Amino acid sequence: MQANEQLAAGLDEAGLTQVELAEAVNDYLRSLGREGAVSDRTVRHWLTGKTRWPHPRQREALEAVFGRTAEVLGFTPPAGRPSPTRTEDPVHRRNFLTATTGVTAAAVPLVAARPYAVGTTDVMRLRSGLDALTALDAARGGHEALERAALAGAAEALDLQKRAASQRIRQRLFSVAAEFTTAAAWSAVDARRSDRAQGHLNRALYLAGMAQDSIAELDVWNLYAMAAGQQRDHARAVSAAQAAQATAVTRRDPLFASLAHARTAIGYSNAGDRRGALRSLGCAEEALGKASADTPRPSWVAFYGPAELLAITAIVRDRTGDAAGAEAASHRALAAIPERFRRNRALATLQLALTQLHQRDIDQACATAERVFVLMEGATLPGRMRSRLGDFCRDLITLSPHSGTAREWKDRYRSEWSQAR
């Protein structure tokens, strides 16, 4: 008896437990007017290979949940029986697949009204919308359309929780609503609209509490710290980052603990507390060294890892007076940040330029800063990046007001700034 590794991989990818997969299959069967009698024991039989070819309706449900054929999911028909050939999916299955996996990056999927209670498949469908918004954020940064789409997703989740099949499903929908609302807050933070982000964060924290979801709570506190930093309320930023450290998930997953410590380090560095900043940075490094890359996590935290911690290290060291150490960390960060994170690479490049400027290497700093516009060519600069460019320009004027290189860069900066709106 051979284990079904393809199905196990599908479960990991979808972030589903055996019980949740059973619920999703039963939801689909009930939508067809059939009894949903699949249990976690049934799923174990599929995973262990004891059941190599499920019943036709179960196969159809599995294909609808995962958006893949039974064969791709690792199931094999009995010897001598040909695999069924489909010329066209049933209409219901086609609609189900579209709702579950056919999400565009520009909109949150709409959930059609159903005659039965809301279940696991509805949660999965909404979560696919969250992944789409994360991809849209990576491509364009924070903007009002993304913020509106995230709030629409939160409203949809809250409407569905009124018809949830169980308290467990209700809590999961509160969790999804919290994540959508936090995505709206992040969009506002990235656009440097921290005043607007505050209302979203207050709402998201309430929803995360209703969901009893410590990951969502950490996400909210992380953004609270960022928004407070933008408002130059550094004491509040440190307190919010410490609240992130206190969430339950940091005791289970060192990666989240590392993120919370890293955010605390930035808060301390902005407040002028060098010792606190370096201590928190050390805690972040130690925790990240214990984190497993194989642990399933929400898509929003994909940005954080060794490369992002190096980028944060560069910020902290620069703001605590170690420009040379910050430059070294910036180079290491740029060597490690994946190409697909274009905005993160542009921000790390800008931080490198600032560290060079703070060492009075004016020509090199200006040349490095120009690369930001090359990296972001064809994309609107998010407000957070525009603000950092403004910091570079002000420091350049302060440190080298009369050099020819500085004047040339300022002319380029003004030209690029006007085109990047």
DSSP 367-398: HHHHHHHHHTTTSPPPHHHHHHHHHHHHHHHH
pLDDT of residue 113: 37
Q: How many CB atoms lie within 10 A of CB 307?
A: 20
In percent, the amount of the chain with pLDDT more than 90 equals 47
Q: Give how far Cα 79 sits from Cα of 47, 48, 83, 129, Å.
A: 20, 19, 10, 40
Residue 120 belongs to domain spanning = 116-212
Q: What's the mean pLDDT in 333-358?
A: 92
Q: What's the mean pLDDT in 171-186?
A: 94
User: Is 359 within a domain?
Assistant: no
pLDDT digits (tens, 9 = 90+) for 201-244: 999 999 999 999 999 999 999 999 999 999 999 999 999 999 99
User: Is 161 within a domain?
Assistant: yes
User: Is 346 within a domain?
Assistant: no
Instruction: Give the integer Cα–Cα distance in Å for 130 and 101.
Output: 12
Please check the confidence at residue 89 and state whether its pLDDT lies above 50: no
Q: What's the mean pLDDT in 90-97?
A: 40
Range scoring the smallest mean pLDDT among 15-19, 137-141, 273-277, 296-300: 137-141
User: Global pTM?
Assistant: 0.75
pLDDT of residue 175: 93
Instruction: Give the integer Cα–Cα distance in Å for 151 and 108.
Output: 10
Tell me, yes or no, whether 120 and 204 share the same domain: yes
pLDDT band at 402 (very low <50, low <70, confident <90, very high): confident
CB 365 within 8 A of CB 354: yes
What per-residue string of b and e applies to 260-291 under the rule 16 or more CB within 10 Å gives b? bbbbbbbbbbbbebbebbbebbebbbebbeeb
Tell me, yes or no, whether 141 and 193 share the same domain: yes
Among 402, 375, 378, residue whose Cα is nearest residue 389: 375
pLDDT of residue 101: 36
pLDDT band at 102 (very low <50, low <70, confident <90, very high): very low
Last residue of a domain, one of 186, 212, 238: 212
CA 100-101-105 angle, to 5 degrees, is 120
Instruction: Give the integer Cα–Cα distance in Å for 317 and 87.
Output: 61
pLDDT of residue 104: 38
Among 306, 304, 302, 301, residue whose Cα is nearest residue 289: 306
Last residue of a domain, one of 212, 236, 268: 212
Q: Which two tokens stand for residue 322?
A: 């170690």
Most confident of 5-19, 21-35, 68-82, 174-188: 174-188
User: Is 255 within a domain?
Assistant: no
CB 55 within 8 A of CB 12: no
pLDDT of residue 117: 62
Indicate the average pLDDT of the chain: 85
Tell me, yes or no, whether 183 and 124 share the same domain: yes
pLDDT band at 96 (very low <50, low <70, confident <90, very high): very low
User: Is 395 within a domain?
Assistant: no
Q: What's the mean pLDDT in 139-147?
A: 75
Among 248, 250, 226, 249, residue whose Cα is nearest residue 236: 226
Please check the confidence at residue 316 and state whether its pLDDT lies above 60: yes
Q: Which two tokens stand for residue 278?
A: 């370096």
Contacts of 81 (CB under 8 A, 6+ apart): none
Among 283, 266, 365, 271, residue whose Cα is nearest residue 317: 266
pLDDT of residue 281: 97
User: Is 19 within a domain?
Assistant: yes
Tell me, yes or no, whether 208 and 123 share the same domain: yes
CATH code of residue 50: 1.10.260
Number of domains composing the chain: 2
CB 108 within 8 A of CB 153: yes
Instruction: Give the integer Cα–Cα distance in Å for 272 and 169.
Output: 45
User: Is 320 within a domain?
Assistant: no
Tell me, yes or no, whether 120 and 39 share the same domain: no
CB 47 within 8 A of CB 3: yes
Q: What's the mean pLDDT in 334-356?
A: 92
CA 204-293-348 angle, to 5 degrees, is 70
User: Is 124 within a domain?
Assistant: yes
Tell me, yes or no, whether 58 and 132 share the same domain: no
pLDDT digits (tens, 9 = 90+) for 16-69: 788 888 888 887 787 777 777 888 899 999 999 889 999 888 988 888 777 778
pLDDT digits (tens, 9 = 90+) for 158-177: 999 888 867 888 899 999 99
Instruction: Give the integer Cα–Cα distance in Å for 178 and 181.
Output: 5
CA 74-79-84 angle, to 5 degrees, is 65
Instruction: Give the integer Cα–Cα distance in Å for 204 and 169.
Output: 18
Last residue of a domain, one of 158, 186, 212: 212
